[in-house]
Amino acid sequence: MVVGRRGQAQGRDGGLRRPAGARAGQTPPPPPGRRRPGRARGPRGRERRGGPHLGQDPRPRRVLFDRARARGPAPSGPQAPARGPRVRPLVVGLTGSIGAGKSEALKAFAAAGAATLSADAVARDLSVRGGPVAKAAARALGPSALAADGSLHRPRVAAAVFKDAAARRRLEKATHPLISRELERRLARARRPVAVVDAPLLFEAGLARRFDLTVCVSAPAAVRLSRAARRDRSSRAEVRARERAQWPQARKVALSDVVIFNGGSRAALRRAVAEYQRAFELLAQGRGGSK
Can you give the pLDDT of all 291 residues of the chain as single tens digits?
Answer: 444 444 444 444 444 444 454 455 555 555 555 444 444 444 443 334 445 444 444 443 444 545 544 544 433 333 333 344 566 799 999 999 999 999 999 999 999 999 999 999 999 999 999 999 999 999 999 999 999 999 999 999 988 888 888 998 999 999 999 998 999 999 989 889 999 999 999 998 888 998 999 999 999 999 999 999 999 888 888 888 888 888 999 999 999 999 999 999 999 999 999 999 999 999 998 876 444
pLDDT at 158: 87
Radius of gyration, alpha carbons of the chain: 24
pLDDT at 63: 46
**Does residue 18 lie within any of the structural domains?**
no
**Does residue 80 lie within any of the structural domains?**
no
Say yes or no: 146 and 253 in one domain.
no
Say yes or no: 237 and 107 in one domain.
yes
pLDDT at 57: 42
Say yes or no: 67 and 206 in one domain.
yes
Say yes or no: 103 and 236 in one domain.
yes
Which of 169, 191, 213 is the C-terminal boundary of a domain?
191
**Does residue 5 lie within any of the structural domains?**
no
**Does residue 181 lie within any of the structural domains?**
yes
Q: Where are the beta strands (DSSP E) in the chain?
A: 2-3, 9-10, 90-96, 115-118, 194-198, 213-218, 258-261
**Does residue 286 lie within any of the structural domains?**
yes
pLDDT at 37: 45
Which of 191, 215, 235 is the C-terminal boundary of a domain?
191
pLDDT at 88: 79
Say yes or no: 108 and 250 in one domain.
yes
**Does residue 39 lie within any of the structural domains?**
no
Q: Structural domain tally of the chain?
A: 2
Say yes or no: 170 and 203 in one domain.
no
Say yes or no: 104 and 183 in one domain.
no
Residue 108's alpha-carbon distances to 36, 56, 135, 268, in angstroms, are 33, 20, 34, 11
Say yes or no: 260 and 291 in one domain.
yes
Cα torsion at 193, 194, 195, 201 (round to 10°)?
150
**Does residue 251 lie within any of the structural domains?**
yes
Say yes or no: 59 and 163 in one domain.
no
pTM of the model: 0.68
**Does residue 236 lie within any of the structural domains?**
yes
N-term to C-term CA, the chain: 52
pLDDT at 148: 93
Q: Are 69 and 288 a contacting pair, CB within 8 Å?
A: no
pLDDT at 30: 53
Say yes or no: 222 and 252 in one domain.
yes
Q: Are 269 and 262 a contacting pair, CB within 8 Å?
A: yes
Range of the domain at 61: 49-75+88-114+193-291
Which of 149, 165, 191 is the C-terminal boundary of a domain?
191
pLDDT at 32: 53
> Mapped to the 3 state alphabet, what secondary structure does 191-228 carry?
CCCEEEEECCCCCCCCCHHHCCEEEEEECCHHHHHHHH
Rounded to 5°, angle at Cα 172 from 166 and 176: 170
The β-bridge partners of 194 are: 90
Say yes or no: 284 and 207 in one domain.
yes
CATH code, 108? 3.40.50.300
Say yes or no: 177 and 251 in one domain.
no
127 closest CA partner among 104, 156, 105, 102: 156
